[in-house]
Structures are given as C-alpha cells and as structure tokens.
Amino acid sequence: MNRLRTIISLMTVAVFTACAMGSGPPPERQPQDLHQSIRYLNKGSRYYNKGCYAKAVYHFQKAHEMFAVADNLQGAADSLNSMANAYYRLDEMSSAVLVYDEALGYYQLLDDKEGQVRVLTNKSAALAGSGMFEQAASALSQADALTGGKEILSGLRKKAWAILKLKTGHTEEAKRLIQSAMHAIPKSEAAQYASAQYTMGCILLRSHHPKEAIAYIEKALAFDRQLSSYFGIAQDLETLGDCHVEMGQHDKAVNFYKRSIKIFALLDRPAKVAQILPHLQKSASIAAVGVDATLHWVKQWLEGQLEIGICR
C-alpha cells in the first residue's frame, strides 16, 4: 500500500493595523510593539513555509505573546492558528488541538466567521492526517454550518473534505471534491493550489492510476519550488517515487527517493528519513543501483554536520 500524505498548508497571515482612539489624524507609524509582533509573525511564516516547524512555533509563540499583552485579539487569533498548524507538522497533535481551540475562541470573540471557518478547516485536516476521522468530520461540519450556505473559503473546505474522504477510503467522492476545490482555488493562492494538485495526485495514486497522478504531483512540485517550500518539495518527490514504484520503474523511484530523503535530512526530520529509507533501499536493490553516497550525506546531516543552517 502506498503511503499518502496530505499537506496542511499555513494560511496567509494578515498584516494588522492599529485603530486610533479619540480625535485627530491616525498615527503615521505603527507602534513599535505592534511592528515587532508582525515581524515575529512574518518570520514564523517564512520558517513554516520552508518546513522549519520548530522554529516556526517559536516565532508564532513570540508573536502571540506580544499580541496577547496588547490585547490585540486579531493578532492573537491568527498567531495561534498558525502555531497550531506548525504543531501538527511536528506530530504534536495534542498541542495542535489545544491551540486550534484557543484560536477558535478568539475568532468567536471577534465574531469573525471566516476566521472560525479557517481554523476549524485547518483543525479538521490535521485530525484527518492523524487518523482521527470522526473528530475531523465534526470540525468540518461545524465549519460548513458557520458559512450559512455562503461561499466562505469553499476551496479550502472542499479540499479538507477530499482529504478526509480519501483517508476513509471514499476515493471517488474524494476525487469529485478535489476537482471542485481546484476550480475554487485561484492559481494566485500558490500554496493552496499546490496542495490541491498534490491531493489530486494522491487520490489518483490510491486509485492505481500512477501515470495520471504524476502529472498533478509535478504541478505541485513546480509551485512548491517557486515558493521555496522545502518540506513540500520533499513530499512531492517522495510521492513521485511512490508513483514510479507502482509502475514498476524502480530505477526512477530511486532517483526521487534520494532527492526527497536528502531534503528531509537537511530539514532535520529523522522520522521522515526513517519512513522513506526502507523504500529507497528496496527500490535500489531491485534496480541494482548504489545509494551509499546518499546515505552518507543523510547520516552526516542528521548528526548536525551541516555547512548551511536551513532552519537556524
């Protein structure tokens, strides 16, 4: 059985402005504390997009602390939502769920329907990715109910439903939903568009159509390269390897697995390296291809012998 993963993309973070109290013109410059909060938030987003999730958590937490002390509810909510996404990526689901729920509380205080829908949809995708399917369906149903039938984040919600249906074995329904999601997500939202393409590729791979899947995964890979989304690139390459294994093309699979495992090692993701390693070794054995040099680099990088510090 091929391994399928989903992308839980970080949502675009809004830039916040302060409201002036009393009469007179608004201040020409942002307060220093607000400026610093936004800097932490943006830096966390950059780390997240690269795949440096521990660093992202640190910066989102710093941003949240500064928004909280200023009682900036919007900033507190958005930093928590982003932090929860990063916790999920670190496989810390208990922390992720707690933080998603706290973010939801802030959005409710703000009467921000779109914020509530976003955090519930993110929470659902994280829960589905962790095998908590009933909880994921409940969160998505809450998100749908909040829209009142309006097209609020429809592409994001449809993609999350497609992921859940794929995970629970309803492949045809997942395919229908992701096709609808791809029409709803504009290409200008590159991270979301890449995620939708990747999800469609995974659905086709699960349906034993690896050749068709490759076309979608390659589109996702092109977008992830443009975004410098290193985790996304590694994930795309891994799944391309899975596609070629399904087609019996182990020599090509080795190429993709080697590139993927090196990126995950550079991102200091030993669990992902351990997950890919047996598949790389099996395909290399079948194709009679040597991988000793790759394994040498991977071992060195996981031991911290890096010339560059991607996540520093």
CB atoms inside a 10 Å sphere around CB 294: 18
Residue written as token pair 């074995």: 169
Domain-located, residue 212: yes
Domain-located, residue 75: no
Instruction: Say which DSSP state 29 is in.
Output: S
Domain-located, residue 15: no
The answer, yes or no, to whether residue 26 has pLDDT greater than 60, is: no
Give the C-alpha separation, 309 to 31, whole Å: 32
Give the C-alpha separation, 253 to 23, whole Å: 66
Q: What's the one-letter identity of residue 175?
A: K
The answer, yes or no, to whether residue 65 has pLDDT greater than 90, is: yes
Instruction: Say which DSSP state 150 is in.
Output: S
What does each C-alpha distance from 48 to 10, 137, 231 come to in angstroms?
Answer: 7, 26, 9
Higher pLDDT, 200 or 16: 200
Is residue 60 within 8 Å of residue 41, measured between CB atoms?
yes
Q: What's the one-letter identity of residue 52?
A: C
- Which is nearest to 18 in space by CA: 38, 4, 3, 1? 38
The answer, yes or no, to whether residue 24 has pLDDT greater than 80, is: no
Domain-located, residue 228: yes
pLDDT digits (tens, 9 = 90+) for 214-273: 999 999 999 999 999 999 999 999 999 999 999 999 999 999 999 999 999 999 999 999
Domain-located, residue 208: yes
Helices (H), the chain: 32-50, 53-69, 73-89, 93-109, 113-129, 133-147, 154-167, 171-184, 190-206, 210-227, 230-246, 250-266, 270-287, 292-302
Exposed, middle or buried, 264 (CB in 10 Å: 0-12/13-18/19+)? buried
The answer, yes or no, to whether residue 193 has pLDDT greater than 70, is: yes
Domain-located, residue 50: no
What's the pLDDT at 29?
52
Number of domains in the chain: 1
Threshold 0.75, pTM exceeds? yes
Task: State the residue range of the domain holding 208.
Answer: 186-312
What does each C-alpha distance from 203 to 6, 63, 126, 168 come to in angstroms?
Answer: 11, 37, 18, 12
Higher pLDDT, 5 or 268: 268
Tokens of 108: 């409710």
Domain-located, residue 239: yes
Is residue 123 within 8 Å of residue 141, measured between CB atoms?
no
| Averaged pLDDT of the chain | 90
The answer, yes or no, to whether residue 16 has pLDDT greater than 50, is: no
Tokens of 237: 């390459």
Provide the CATH number for the domain around residue 259.
Answer: 1.25.40.10
Domain-located, residue 297: yes
The answer, yes or no, to whether residue 25 has pLDDT greater than 60, is: no
